Chain A
Amino acid sequence: MKQDKTIDHLFRHQFGKMVSILTRIFGLSNLETIEDAVQDTFIKASIAWRDEMPENPEAWLTKVAKNRTLDLFKSIKAEKNRAQFSFNGPSSIAVSELFLDNEIEDAQLRMIFTACHETLDPRDQISFALKTISGFSNKEIASALLLKEETVKKRLHRARKSIKDNKVKFEIPVGKELNLRLDRVLEVIYLIFNEGFHSGNPELLVRMDLCGEALRLCKLLIGRTETKTSKSLALFALICFHSARLDSKTNDLQEAIAIKDQDRSKWLFPLIVMGNRAMNLAVEGGEFSVYHFEAAIVCEHLKAKRFEDTNWKAILGFYKQLQQLDPSPIHQLNIVVVLLQLKETAAAKKQLQTISPKDLERREYLYHGCLAEILAEKGQMDDAIAACTIAIELANNKTEKSFLQKRRAILMDQL
C-alpha cells in the first residue's frame, strides 16, 4: 500500500517532466499522443516493478522515456507526415540534451506558460496545468478541485483542442506578452496552492502534492531572470510561509487545528528562512501586489512566538490594503475575523453586515461561523448556536464540520 503511494507520487512527478520534454521534440499538436505514450511507460513500469523496485526508479523511467522517443518519431511521422527527419545514432545526442536538468526546467516552464495561454478558458487552465505539468490523473484532479471526473475530462479536452485550434506555440513569451501571461501563471500557481492548503481534501498526500507542486513551479519561475519579478518572489514567499505551517494545521486524524492551538514548534524553519529571503528581494522594488500583502500577513503569524503575541493591528492594516487592491468578500470576512481578535465586536458586526454570504460560495459557512462568534461575544448564546449549526450544515467536508461541531459544543457548555 505504502509502496503504491510512493509509485503514484513518483509517476505524478515524472509524468509532467516527460510530457514537457517530449512536447519540446514533437510539439503541442501531438500532446495527446505524447501523454498516452508516457502513461503507457508507467503502466509498463508498474508491471515490471511488481516484484522489485529498481534501485533508481527515476533513472529507470528516464531511460524508458528516452527509448520511447523513437517510437513516437515513428508513429507521429506516419500520422502527420512530419517534415523529413532521418534518424541516426547521433540523434540520440540531441534527445539526451533535452533530458538534462536545466532543459527539463525550461520545458516545464514552457508548459506552464502554455497552460496559461489566453486562448484557454480560465476554468480549464488549472485542470490542464495539474494534468500536464503535475501529472495528476483525472480522478485526482476531480478530487483536488471538487469537480466531477467527467467535468475534468471535458475541460482537458477543451484545453487541448483550444491549443491545437489556435496553434499555440510551446514557448515562453517575451516582452509585454510575458508580463501579461506571467500574471496569469502566478494566479494559477496561487490557485493550485490554495486547493492544497485550504481545501479539506481528506487525502493528505494529494494536498501536500498540490502545495509541493505550487512551490516547485514558483521556484522554477524565480530561478530564471525573466520571470524572477517582485510579484513572483512575493508569491514564492507566501507559499513558503504557508507551507511552513502545513504540518501543524491538522492533527493525526487530519482534523483542522485552529492557528491558536497549533504547535508552533512544528513550523518548518528552513521554509520560513527561504520565504524571508524571497520576501526581502520582493520588497526591493517598492511596488506591492496582493501576494506581498498576503505574505506579510502570514509572516506576522509566524513572527508571533505565541498566539497571544500576534500583532493583530498590523494584520488588520495589511488586510485593509489587500481589500483596497483586490476587493473580495473573502478579505472582508478576514477583516471580521481580525476585528474579533481585537475584541472590536461592534466593528466586526458592522463589517460582517457588508458581506452577502452567498458571494462567499464554498466558504459561505465561514460567514455563519463568524456570526456565531459575534453573537457569542454579545452573550446571545442561543442565536450563536443556531448560526454555528448553519455553518456546520454548509461546511464542505468532515474536517471543517468536526471543527465547528467542537466549537458548538463549547458554546453549548456556556449556555
Chain B
Amino acid sequence: MKEYMMIFIGDSYEDLGLSPEEMQGKMGKWFEWSNVMQEAGVLRGGHALHSEVRHVSGSKRTITDKAGSEVKELIGGYYIVEAKNMDEVVTIAEGYPDYDLGGTVEIREIMVFDR
C-alpha cells in the first residue's frame, strides 16, 4: 500500500457567491465523503488551510501578501489516503463534492524511501 495526497484546489464558497443553504449542502457532502473514506479505512489524515497567503520569492526574498480571492488555483487543504495505485485514488476522488464549482483534485504520491 502507498500513501497519496489529494490536494484540493478551488475558490472559497463566499468568493463563488454561494448562498448559506448551498454552503450548508456542500459541507454536508464533504462530511459524508470523509465518512465514506473513514469507513473504508483509507483515510490517513488531512488539514484545511486558511486563505491568507504570503509568498516569499526570488533571491531578494520578496514578500507578497495576498488574500485568497487574489490567488489563482488556491489550495484549500489536503487529505492523505492509502491506496494501491493512482487509479484507486482517482476512484476515491470521485466523491469530491466541488467539481461543479470548478474545483480540482490534484493527486500526488507521497515519497517514501524505505522499500
A interface with B by C-beta (< 8 Å)? 63, 66-67, 69-71, 74, 84-96
Contact = CB atoms under 8 A, between A and B. Distances in A.
Given A70-B20, A96-B31, A90 B14 contact: no
Contact of A89 (B14, B67, B69, B97): B97
A89 B10 contact: yes
Contacts of B98: 88-89
Contact of B77 (A71, A84, A90): A90
Given A84-B51, A89-B10, A96-B31, 4 more contacts: A71-B20, A86-B14, A88-B12, A92-B34
Nearest to B51: A86
A297 B92 CA distance: 59
B4 interface: no
A211 B49 CA distance: 42
Lowest 6 CB-CB distances: which A-B pairs, in order?
A: A90-B77, A92-B30, A86-B12, A90-B76, A94-B48, A90-B48
Contact of A70 (B10, B23, B52): B23
Main secondary structure of the interface of A (DSSP, over half): helix
Contact of B46 (A70, A88, A93): A93
Interface in B54-100: 67-69, 76-79, 97-98
24 contacts: A70-B27, A84-B51, A84-B52, A84-B67, A88-B51, A88-B76, A88-B77, A88-B98, A89-B10, A89-B27, A89-B30, A89-B98, A90-B8, A90-B30, A91-B27, A91-B48, A91-B76, A92-B30, A92-B48, A93-B30, A93-B34, A93-B46, A93-B47, A96-B31
A197 B114 CA distance: 57
Given A67-B28, A86-B14, A88-B10, A94 B34 contact: no
Nearest to A87: B13
A63 B31 CA distance: 8
A82 to B, nearest CB: 13
Interface of B: 8, 10-15, 20, 23-24, 26-28, 30-31, 34, 46-52, 67-69, 76-79, 97-98, 103
A88 B23 CA distance: 8
A91 B24 contact: no
Contacts, number: 83
Given A70-B23, A71-B20, A86-B14, A94 B47 contact: yes
B79 A87 contact: no
A93 B8 CA distance: 11
B27 A67 contact: yes
A294 to B, nearest CB: 43
Contact of B68 (A66, A86, A92, A96): A86
Contacts of A96: 31, 34
Nearest to A96: B34
A234 B19 CA distance: 54
B109 to A, nearest CB: 20
B37 to A, nearest CB: 11
Of A66, A84, A85, A92, which is in contact with the most chain B CB atoms at under 10 Å from its CB? Answer: A92
B13 A88 contact: yes
Contacts of B24: 67, 70-71
Contacts of A86: 12-15, 51, 68-69
A390 B38 CA distance: 64
